[in-house]
Amino acid sequence: MDAEGTEVKVKRVSSRKRTRESLRTHLTPASKRGGGGGGGGGGDTWSQQCPQNWRLSSIMADIQAAEFCSDSEDLFGDYDSILEDSSLLAKLDDAEQTERQRDVRPSAADQPNFTSLRPQKDVVCEDVLTASILDGLGDEAFEDLPPSQRQFQEQVYENVKRSRLDGDKTSTPVRDADRTAEAGTVIKMEDKTKRPARRSVADQLKRTMVCNAASPSSVSRTVVLKEAVVTEEISVAMQAMETVSAETTDLGPFFGLPSRVKDLMYKLRGITSLYDWQQTCLNLDCVQQRKNLIYSLPTSGGKTLVAEILVLRELLCRKKDCLFILPYISLVQEKVRGLASFGLELDFMVEEYAGSKGKFPPVKRRNQTSLYIATIEKAHSLVNSLIETSRIDNLGLVVVDELHMLGDGSRGAVIEMTLAKVLYMSKTTQIVGMSATLGNIRDLQTFLKAENYTNDFRPVQLKEYVKLKDTIYEVDPKEEECFRFSRLLNFKYSSSMQKIDPDHIIALVTEVIPTHSCLVFCPTKKNCENVAGMICRYLKEDFLQHRRDEKDVLLRELKDSGNGSVCPVLRRTVPYGLAYHHSGLTSEERKLVEEAYSNGVLCLLTCTSTLAAGINLPARRVILRSPYVATDFLKRSQYKQMVGRAGRAGIDTEGESVLILQDKDRDMAKSLVCAPMENCYSNLMHDDGKGLLSLLLSLIGLNITTSLDQIREFLCGTLLHVQQTQLCVEQSLWEVVQRCVGLLKDKDLITVTSDSHGQTLQVTKLGKATYKGSVDLTCSDLLYNDLSKGLDGLLLNSCLHLVYLVTPYDMISQCNPDWMLFFRQFTLLSAAEQKMSAAVGVPESFVARKAAGQTVKKSMNMEVVRRMYLALVLFTLLKETNLWIVADKFQLSRGFVQSLLSSSSAFCSCVLHFTEELEEFWPFKALLTELTRRLSYCVKAELIPLMEVAGVMESRAKQLYNAGYKTPTHLANADPAVLSKTIENLYKKQADQIVASAKMLLNEKAAALQEEVDELLMVPVDLPAPSRTQLLT
């Protein structure tokens, strides 16, 4: 349209569709980008403005939800256009007026009335203004518009086409009144007001935009945003896929993961970038090709993050399940809490396998992948169940933390069994092991067919010292004596202080606390408590004022966790910012102490060596009170684990460890701090080959091997085979295997049949129950006999009999009954309960005689007596649900009672699986299912649902219940910010984890129910087809 030299072009730009140029600038490789302007073109400007990991969602997150405008509202505020420029519509108005004046001018004199603007019947007169503008839009399709807007545009175009076909009509739609005028009716001046005024192009354009904005969308804004994010991530992924091999699945720029994962790492962990070694490790060829890997670094080097990225890559990119194996229940629970948020955001399940938790086989999910986080023992049972159900190939990755624990007794044997089965049964499952530096790492590489990556990186420099008398020496392996003089201790000791603290622990700790944190490792539990009390005695009053309010809250929480009772040692030490940490604490006390130390409320912990192997609690200075654990001299691996806690990444610039020595230990300490790392050896032969017996039984039971030749083939893939020259000295490995098969046969766990093809090995019902229940082979027949006797006269009006049957055999040796207490509690039992006790072999007369100090002539099975005593402790605990009261009644440490409860719940779960395989024990299935649940939590019934949520202990469950959060559903729908304000001393981060864990728990339960529904509604694949005759009839 030309008018007075002014040209107006209208171009429609869709907000839902990027131009090709914008796509080219951020998705196309630099070499293929076009556009003028050379090096300073728009493409370069875009690349400078946008980071490499560009994400649509990062932009969309800041866009406010659109508000609809009514017809009466001005869409653009004070401006006439979305460009905040009044010139466009003004130009349209001017151009329209000019065109009108030019068309009207010839007939204005002759036709003073408004009908002169109407064309005559014979004359074809298009509205040049409107048509030319629509022509300017061209025949371009509106495929990128929402349905509602597309329909509006199609209506406008239909009207335009209709007007062009009928020459007697204008191109602008008119109403019925205009059609009357066309028929010859003269429009009077008074009728003019009844006709709506013709809209200007500016008004029409503006009205169109308002209608478009106000039209409802058939798709929700959330869905649109999600689609946009996914589209963007796929675009990035397609680029990445061009540069990687067809075997490698790569979904994005963050080590093969979508940039969404990188955002979550920052949001949930505060991680902005990876260490150089982590990037190198993740980019190794063996990692890209999914080969097995062992990587070794010092403690606190950031090993776990690499494993988590590999896990996420397997879950999200390859859509395979993963297994993460950790050594302790506390670590499993911590990891479940930490990864639950990732699971919710990235749509995968996080399942806990620890203690009595875990389903065998796991729920089979069609639309989601699962991350199983398990202890060593539960991981073995999980792998067995996957092999049995032919689902082991669904397991894409197995991660083993503390892989060097392969050399740690019976638990090491279980790790070896688990990994050997995975290697043998699945050629597609990748194994990644995190290990301390080992002297014979090549043996482990051969066993796992793995590459090895080693680095000595530490985020914080560690300086190691030893103290002899009042002199500090720095550890230096280059020195002939291994020690180099550093300084003298500068602390004045009185004679009384010197007697109480001859090792100068007070001098060493007061150099760092309360400004910095400190860990003091002690050889025994009792020594932990004594050292904490001794330090408090000589600290200044200033320590009492440091974070006083928070320490008061901690004491209140400790009191709540003990139902009104507080440990007298903690009551005295916590006000000074000190506490002790060992297995004598309840799990809730340990958790409170750990959280307080992590948050800086406590500045010093006296602890045993188990803390070093458990949860990560770093410190500025680590002090080793003695080079002994109980009466055993420290191993180098233990020493390295303890001193590795020194130095907190992001807080300290350096960390330091001090080993306190006596003169007699000087020579042994040299080898401790300067010798090379120890070797790791297979433990399948440990304890008279107990591990090898268990392995052979499960291999035969799972039908992995059914002959001696197949057993030989399988054992070639074990660490024991790699190290047989060192470990099988007296007998060859083959001779050992034959002896073990004979033992299994003698115990009636397997049968051996011979035919022309050789010997065939098969598992018996008892053997199958033994390996599926993870029951120790040495007590499987004992358990069977106890359960059989129990069926004869099972006491059902009390749970005492059931509790006795699930009291762990391995705890009996730790029990030394107090006979007077035993008799006192025995007399409180009902007549039926006393009769049941006599039936198992502990009559009242025996307990009374022992309590009176009389000699008992009749020989008694003392293991049964001790087991009954422990069962009485558990029975009282289930009734009282107060651990402190029960510990006091039986004069036991609360830590021991806690340990007994945890072991019993785990063993109860094992016995349940044992009885499920034996038809004669069918009554136990329902009974033990409920007992397992009660032993797992041991709280009032209304708190159990809350305690199913990872990270919620009894005292926290009480707080939540009293605040109105009575179920996991309440927690899953809670606002973390409100929750942290409502519940005393609940930090925002903890609230986030609790809410995420509750959501994950509900998702897991809902998914399990949905799987059951799908299974019920699915048409069976083996449904018999109708015969031909039936079809004809």
Structure-token pair, residue 351: 């399942």
Q: What is the pLDDT of residues 411-441, one digit of tens each?
A: 999 999 999 999 999 999 999 999 877 888 9
Residues 6+ apart with CB under 8 A from 358: 351, 352, 374, 378, 381, 382
What's the CA angle centered on 647, arms 643 and 652, to 5 degrees?
A: 160
Judge whether residue 158 has pLDDT over 80: no
CA-to-CA separations, 451 to 298, 436, 516, in angstroms, rounded: 18, 15, 40
Q: How confident is the model at residue 622 (pLDDT cuts 50, 70, 90)?
A: very high
pLDDT computed for residue 156 by the predictor = 55
Q: Taking each helix axis from N to C terminus, what angle separates 201-214 and 128-137, rounded to the nearest 10 degrees?
A: 50
Report the candidate in 612, 619, 569, 574 with the shortest Cα–Cα distance to residue 593.
574
pLDDT computed for residue 195 by the predictor = 46
Distance CA 407, CA 412 (A): 5
pLDDT computed for residue 230 by the predictor = 54
Of 721 and 560, more confident:
721
Give Dmax (Cα) for the chain.
Answer: 142
Judge whether residue 42 has pLDDT over 50: no
| Torsion angle of C-alpha atoms 41, 42, 45, 46, degrees rounded to 10 | -150
Q: Give the end-to-end CA distance of the chain in Å, rounded to a whole number.
A: 77
Which residue's entry shows tokens 């191109």? 171
Least trusted range by pLDDT, from 423-437, 490-504, 655-669: 490-504
pLDDT computed for residue 609 by the predictor = 85
Of 173 and 664, more confident:
664
- 3 state DSSP class of 420: helix
pLDDT computed for residue 97 by the predictor = 67
What average pLDDT score do residues 271-283 get?
92
Q: How confident is the model at residue 126 (pLDDT cuts 50, 70, 90)?
A: very low
Structure-token pair, residue 132: 């030319």
Judge whether residue 488 has pLDDT over 60: yes
* Under 8 Å between Cβ of 255 and 282: yes
pLDDT computed for residue 673 by the predictor = 87
Judge whether residue 762 has pLDDT over 90: yes
Judge whether residue 1027 has pLDDT over 80: no
pLDDT computed for residue 225 by the predictor = 62
What single DSSP character describes residue 30? G
The one-letter amino acid code at 27 reads L
What's the CA angle centered on 801, arms 798 and 807, to 5 degrees?
A: 125
Of 139 and 982, more confident:
982
Judge whether residue 241 has pLDDT over 60: no
Q: What is the pLDDT of residues 570-581, one digit of tens each?
A: 999 999 999 999
Distance CA 782, CA 519 (A): 44
Judge whether residue 71 has pLDDT over 90: no
Judge whether residue 315 has pLDDT over 50: yes
Structure-token pair, residue 5: 């030299």
Of 49 and 718, more confident:
718
pLDDT computed for residue 939 by the predictor = 86
What is the rounded average pLDDT for all residues in the chain? 80
Q: Which residues sit opposite 1008 in a β-bridge? A: none
The distance of Cα 804 from the centroid of its chain, to the nearest Å, equals: 36
Structure-token pair, residue 491: 């602390």
Strand-strand pairing, 758-763 and 750-755: antiparallel
pLDDT computed for residue 59 by the predictor = 29
Q: How confident is the model at residue 874 (pLDDT cuts 50, 70, 90)?
A: very high
Least trusted range by pLDDT, from 101-110, 200-209, 494-503, 615-624: 101-110
Of 663 and 166, more confident:
663
What average pLDDT score do residues 115-141 get?
43
Judge whether residue 364 has pLDDT over 70: yes
CA-to-CA separations, 385 to 362, 422, 711, 714, in angstroms, rounded: 8, 12, 20, 19
Judge whether residue 854 has pLDDT over 90: no
What average pLDDT score do residues 724-750 get?
92
Which residue's entry shows tokens 């460009």? 83
pLDDT computed for residue 75 by the predictor = 42
Q: How confident is the model at residue 671 (pLDDT cuts 50, 70, 90)?
A: confident
Residue 525's H or E segment, with its range, is: helix 525-537
pLDDT computed for residue 235 by the predictor = 56
* pLDDT > 70 fraction of the chain, expressed in percent and rounded: 75
Q: What is the pLDDT of residues 928-970, one digit of tens each?
A: 999 999 998 888 889 999 999 988 888 889 999 999 999 999 9
Least trusted range by pLDDT, from 367-376, 489-498, 528-537: 489-498
Of 222 and 1013, more confident:
1013
Which residue's entry shows tokens 């007794």? 409
Residues 6+ apart with CB under 8 A from 339: 308, 350, 371, 373
Distance CA 921, CA 926 (A): 11
Least trusted range by pLDDT, from 212-216, 409-413, 815-819, 982-986: 212-216
What average pLDDT score do residues 2-11 get?
45
Distance CA 591, CA 602 (A): 13
Which residue's entry shows tokens 């007699």? 664
**E strands, 199-345, in order:** 292-296, 321-325
- Positive or negative: CA dihedral 519, 521, 525, 527: negative
pLDDT computed for residue 855 by the predictor = 84
What's the CA angle centered on 614, arms 609 and 617, to 5 degrees?
A: 90
CA-to-CA separations, 870 to 481, 860, 865, 889, in angstroms, rounded: 52, 17, 9, 13
Q: How confident is the model at residue 20 (pLDDT cuts 50, 70, 90)?
A: very low
Q: Which residues sit opposite 473 in a β-bridge? A: 466, 485
Report the candidate in 950, 954, 955 with the shortest Cα–Cα distance to residue 971.
950
pLDDT computed for residue 206 by the predictor = 58
What's the CA angle centered on 758, arms 755 and 760, to 5 degrees?
A: 80
Least trusted range by pLDDT, from 227-241, 883-897, 900-914: 227-241
Q: What is the pLDDT of residues 159-215, one digit of tens each?
A: 655 555 454 443 334 444 444 444 444 334 444 444 445 555 556 655 655 555 445
pLDDT computed for residue 750 by the predictor = 95
What single DSSP character describes residue 987? -
Q: SS3 sequence, 598-609?
A: HCCCCCEEEECC
